[in-house]
Amino acid sequence: MSKPKSDLKLRERAKEHLEQAKSLLASPTETNICYAALELRLCIECLAYRLLELYKPQSSFEAISKWQPDKMLKELVAVAGGVTSDLVIKIDFPGAETVEATEKRPDVKWVRSNWQALGSFLHTPTIHQMSKGRKKDSADAEARLQAIIEELDRIFSSEIFDIVLEFGTAWPCSCGFMINRSPHWLASNNRTSCSECGTEYEVYAADNEIRYRPIVIDWLCSECGTKNEIPIHKIKSNAECKCSFCGTNYKLKEQFRITKKT
């Protein structure tokens, strides 16, 4: 069990946004409701990103780069499983009572529906909606925001938080980052990428062990004939590479080729 350090202080920032929303709703004018909705949206985003930060070794580069918290969490659940469920920790002490504590977490479905709903409070009704007599219903909006605050208060009432159970298969990436993939993920995947640098790996089983190797493309130096390799995640137009033997520099060029249809 470990507790990764956070330089981004996302949990603390989430709590500040929640408190800000509460103080705005103490005077629930239409303007304050709108700003409170924004604060709650930011609170949910910070909580979701903190989970991603905690599970970075188990997540993929693609998950990190997705900014919407609901989509990001969905992908995180797909690779790590159970990330957004409340986590119950029990510790048995010989001859004493079992100690139990729960980390309460935002559920992915709850994040999806409430984060999106909060976005709807940030807009003024369209001209079409106004011409049909639709106005913002402040009482409904306030009730929805209070319900969201109730769930966020539940999350912040956790006796413990930021707990990550270490499991799965871990290996060091060439950039120094420790990649970790859960048994849940390994059961149905054979390719992944480092969350830190994007290096792609093939993961496979051999001799009853989980093994991994970076996915590379071989190329021959036209000057000295040396066989070189380039990581697949670096293959893009205008990328540069160098022969490991003679040092000749190369540039990647994209080309179309007509091939016989099969």
Binding site for Zn ion (CB under 5 A): 173, 175, 177, 194, 196-197, 199, 221, 223-224, 226, 243, 245-246, 248
CB 203 to Zn ion: min, Å: 14
Is the Cβ–Cβ distance between 119 and 41 less than 8 Å?
yes
Q: Which is nearer to Zn ion, 119 or 172 (CB)?
A: 172
Question: Which residue is associated with the tokens 């070794």?
Answer: 57
CB 224 to Zn ion: min, Å: 3
Instruction: For Cα atoms 74, 124, 122, give the angle at the middle one, nearest 5 degrees.
Output: 35
CB 211 to Zn ion: min, Å: 17
Q: Which is nearer to Zn ion, 77 or 243 (CB)?
A: 243
CB 151 to Zn ion: min, Å: 36
Report residue 247 as tokens.
């040092």
Report residue 259 as tokens.
């091939």
Q: Which is nearer to Zn ion, 113 or 174 (CB)?
A: 174
CB 173 to Zn ion: min, Å: 3
Q: Which is nearer to Zn ion, 29 or 244 (CB)?
A: 244
CB 195 to Zn ion: min, Å: 8
CB 238 to Zn ion: min, Å: 20
Q: Which is nearer to Zn ion, 160 or 246 (CB)?
A: 246
Distance from the Cα of residue 75 to its chain's centroid: 7
Q: Which is nearer to Zn ion, 158 or 228 (CB)?
A: 228
- Compute the CA torsion angle 253, 256, 257, 262 (nearest 10 deg): 130
Q: Which is nearer to Zn ion, 143 or 178 (CB)?
A: 178
Phi/psi for 111 (5° steps) reads: -60, -45
